Amino acid sequence: MGKDLYEAFPESKAIFERADKTLGFSISGICFNGQPEIIKQTIFSQPAILTVTIAAYEAFKSRIEMKPSFMAGLSLGEYSALIVSGVFTFEDGLRLVRRRAEIMEEATLKHPGKMAAVLDLSFDKVNDICLKSGTDVANINAPGQVIISGKKDAVDRARDLCLESGAKRVIDLEVSGAFHSSLMFEASGELKQRLEKTPASSPVIPVISNYTAWPQFKVTQIKENLVYQLYKPVKWEESIRYMLSQGVTSFVEFGPGKVLKGLMRKIDPAVKVTSIEKKEDILVLQ
């Protein structure tokens, strides 16, 4: 993950080197050569994904002229957007994400849980089932895709109720815990303490908050929303629709995978999305 960027672009190489120095261990080695059982651990996956995302952005920015109107990122991706917009430096943002991952891992050990994607069932029905089953809506990603989160037995009950109510499928996610749920509430206090100690500046480019689905400009509000994000729903579909309402017609997705491009096909298939993950994605645009 990210190795071709490291080898092809000095800007990407510099990001990986800065990440290794900041973290005090080789996150680049984990990205390039890490075993699946290691990279899937939250404490490694979050800083790894952030590093690859920023490495891809820096390589792209050095070769393609771009003046974004807004920035946004789903869950962890919001931190990447805040770094690029100048709210956090890369080093401070990376340290913050590393601590966020540790806090989430600790919460998972204390309050085990799981997440599942509910496909082709209305949000209102899913929300009602969550209330009945003791689970939480974690992500409102796109029409026909809502993520639920909570204790394992509660999510299993919710899955059965969703299927009975007409959901096409309910798929368990490969994550280590019940993120964006009330099981993370206790952990949010620790994240708040870390955020208060992290230097921050006003964004140069507006960043859409996962929690509110509109841009925030005050540092205090941005940090507060990041705390809420840990245990409240991610309003991704609403975030995209806000940007569309402001006249945005094309998007660039940075980082591993093309998940956001896939979600956009469900939200508005007419919108252009360019995914930047590998060396070839940048070279083909030059």
Active site residues: 75, 180
Q: How far apart are CA 182 and CA 66, in angstroms?
A: 39
Q: Are 52 and 255 in contact, with CB atoms under 8 Å apart?
A: yes
Tokens (6 digits) for 187 = 């952990």
Residues 6+ apart with CB under 8 A from 262: none
Cα–Cα distance, 118 to 121 (Å, whole number): 7
Q: Locate 79 and state its tokens.
A: 């931190």
Distance CA 253, CA 53 (A): 9
C-alpha–C-alpha distance, residues 188 and 83, integer Å: 20
Q: Are 159 and 116 in contact (CB under 8 A)?
A: yes
> In degrees rounded to 5, what are phi and psi of residue 256?
-65, 135
Query: CB atoms < 10 A from the CB of 132, how many?
Result: 12
